[in-house]
A and B are shown apart, each in its own frame.
Chain A
Amino acid sequence: MVRKFSAPLERTARLLDLVPYISSHQGISLKELSKVFKVEQTQMTSDLTTLWMCGLPGYTPLELMDLDFESGFVTIHNAETLSKPRSITFDEGVALVLGLDLLRSALSPERSDLLDRIDLLSQRLAGLIKLPSALSATSVVNQEVSAAITDALKSRMGLEITYHSLYRDELSTRIILPIEIVETDGQLYLSSYCYTASDFREFRIDRIQGASVQAGLQEIPKNSAQQLSYTCTIKVLTPTRAIAERFKQSELQVNTAFDFKTYSFQWIERSIMASGRTVCLQSPPDVRKSVAVMAQTMLDRYKAR
C-alpha cells in the first residue's frame, strides 16, 4: 500500500506544497484553496497562520514570508526559497509514467507530435525515479466510443449504441441513458437505463462497437420493471481457476454445489457449456435440458464427420 504519513508530516507536506501553489495562483480565494488541498476552510486558515510564522532564520518581517489572506483571498511574497514545486516521489513518478502510457494508447497514431513528447516525458520521468522503462498500460476501447460516453455522462444525455452481446453473439442497436462507469473484475461496465429493454442494464464498454449522443430523451420511468434474476445451482466436479473466476467463487470443493444469480439464461447456458466436464448444472431444469440437447446436437455432428 501507499504509505500514509502521520498528521504532523501530512501537514508539513501540505505547508511546503502550499507555497508554490499560492505563488503560481496569486489571489486565489481561501475557499478554492481549501478545495484544492481537500481540507476544511478552518484547517486552511490554521495552515496559513502557521506558514505566516515561517521563514529564514532571523524571523524578522524581512525574513518571514509575506502572506496575506485576511481578505479571503490569498497572496504570498518573499517566499522564493520554497516557490518551486517539490521533486516527485518514486510513487508519483510511477503514477505519471503509467498514466502517460495509457494516454499514449488513447491517442491517434497520426499525432506523432504528441506521441513523441510522451516518449520524451516518460524517459525523463523514468530517469528521475531511476526506474527503467518497465511499465506499460493499455486500453483497447474504441476512442470514439469512449469520447461519446464521456460526453453523454457529462451532459446527462442519452446514447445510441451498437452493442455486441457475448452470450447472444449478435449485434444490437439500443438507446440508453448512461448512469455511471463501474468496474467489476477488471472489466469496465456502463451502468445504464436501457429504453430498448425498458430496464436498467450494464454494458461492457469494450463490447460497445459504436456510440452516438442522443438529445431529448424521456425521463426514466419511475416504475420500471424490476430486474428479474434467476438462481442456478451448480455442482463442482473438478475445481478449476476458470470456474472460480467465471462464477466469482472464492472457494471451490469437489462435489459441493453453490448458488449463482444471473439475469440471463443464455449466459448461464453458455457458461455451463464452456465449463465442460468440470461442473454440473443442477437447476433450473429447463436450462439443464437445453444444455443436454445442445451438447448432443454438437456431438452428433462430430460423430457424423
Chain B
Amino acid sequence: MHTVSRKSERLVNLTIALLATKRYLTKTEIYNSVEGYEGTPETKERMFERDKDDLRSLGIEIEVGSFDPLFNDEAGYKIKQEKYQFELGDISSIEVSLLSLAAQAWQEASFGDVAQRVLLKLRSIGIPSDELSIPATVHKLNDGGQDLSLITKAIAQSQLLAFAYLDSSLKINMRSVVPIALSTRNGLWYLSGVDQEIQEIRTFRVDRISSAITASEGPSDFETPTGFDPSKALSDSPTHDFALIDVRVGKASSLRALAISTQSLGEWDQIKIPILSLDSLCSIVLWHGPDAFVQEPAELRDLVVEHLVALVENHG
C-alpha cells in the first residue's frame, strides 16, 4: 500500500506541476522540484519515463517543447489546461441533466464503469442537474460483453476488422470489414461497414460474430461512404418484391407489423409485405399457422407448402 501511495502522490504532484507551469519544465527542473524523484540519475530517468507513460494511459497528454525555439535547448514538458479539462463550452443545467441521463443509461457492465466515471466528472462541473425535469424514461444500454471499445476505435481510425461470422446456415465465414457505424436496437448490437471482399456496406449482428475480432491497419485509400445513417441501416433495405398475405382479423400481429398496406376482406385482411428474405418471411407465416395464408408470390407459397409437407411427414 505504501508504494501505491508514494507512486500516486508523485503522479499527482507531477500533474499539478506540469499544469501550473507557464513555460516548459526541463527534466532537471522536474527532478529538483517535484516531490518524489529520488535515487541515482538513471533511477530518476526511468521513473520519469514510466510516469509519463502512465499519465498518458490515463488520458493526460504531456506536451514536449523547448524554452526558446531559436536555440536547440533541452526539451521541456508541460500539460495544457485546455487539454486536461473537460471542455464542452458554455453548458446549461439542462444540458448537464441530459448528459447525466445519457451516462445513467448504461447498466453495470464493463461500459457501465466507464459511464460511472463520466457521471462523476459531470457532477464535478459544479452546475446542478435536474434529471427529473427531462420527460423521458430511458432504457438501459448493455454492452453484453461485446468489445465496443475496439469497434468504436476502429471506426474512428478506419481500421480493418477481421472476424468469423455465423451465416444463416450456421456456416462460419471469415469477414474483413472497415467499420463505419455501430448501432444498438433493443439490446442487440449491430456493426456496419464496408465488406472488403465485395466493397459494399453490410450490417452484422455483433453477437453472431463467433471469433475474437482482430483490428489491423485499414486500406490507405479508404473513404468513409457518405450519407450512411446508422439508425436506418436496420430498416432501410430497398426491395421491389412484395408478398400478399391473408391474415385473420385480430391475429398474426408479427406479420401485420411488417405490412405496408392492409385491405379488409371481412373475416380476413389482406396485407402487403416487402420481401427482404424469403426464408424468414416463410418462417413467420408458418409461426402463425392457420391464421395466415400466402396469396403471392408463387415462390413463397411453394416454399410454405414444401415445409408443410415435410412437417406432416416428420410428425405424422
Contacts and interface: CB of A to CB of B under 8 A. Distances in A.
B86 A134 contact: no
Chain B contact surface mostly: helix
Contact of A12 (B11, B126, B310): B11
A299 B83 CA distance: 70
B77 interface: no
B13 to A, nearest CB: 5
A25 to B, nearest CB: 8
Counting chain A residues whose Cβ lies within 8 A of the other chain, the interface size class is 35 or more
Most buried by A among B106, B187, B290: B187
A210 interface: no
Interface string A228-260: 000000000111111010000000100000000
B86 A88 contact: yes
A186 B35 contact: no
Contacts, number: 362
A88 B121 CA distance: 8
B312 interface: yes
B238 interface: no
B85 interface: yes
B253 A81 contact: no
B102 interface: yes
A88 B280 CA distance: 43
Interface of A: 1-3, 5, 7-9, 11-13, 15-17, 20-21, 23-25, 36-38, 46, 50-51, 53-59, 81-82, 84-92, 94-103, 106-108, 111, 114, 117-118, 121, 124-125, 128-132, 134-141, 143, 146-147, 150, 164, 166, 169-170, 181, 183, 186-188, 206, 237-242, 244, 252, 270-277, 280-281, 288-289, 291-292, 294-299, 301-302
Interface of B: 1, 3-5, 7-9, 11-13, 15-17, 19-20, 33-35, 54, 57-60, 81, 83-89, 94-95, 98-99, 101-106, 110-111, 113-118, 120-126, 134-142, 144, 147-149, 152-153, 155-156, 166-170, 180-188, 207-208, 224, 229-231, 233, 250-254, 279-280, 282-284, 286-291, 293, 301, 304-312, 314-316
- 4 closest Cβ contacts across the A-B interface? A99-B102, A276-B307, A277-B310, A57-B33
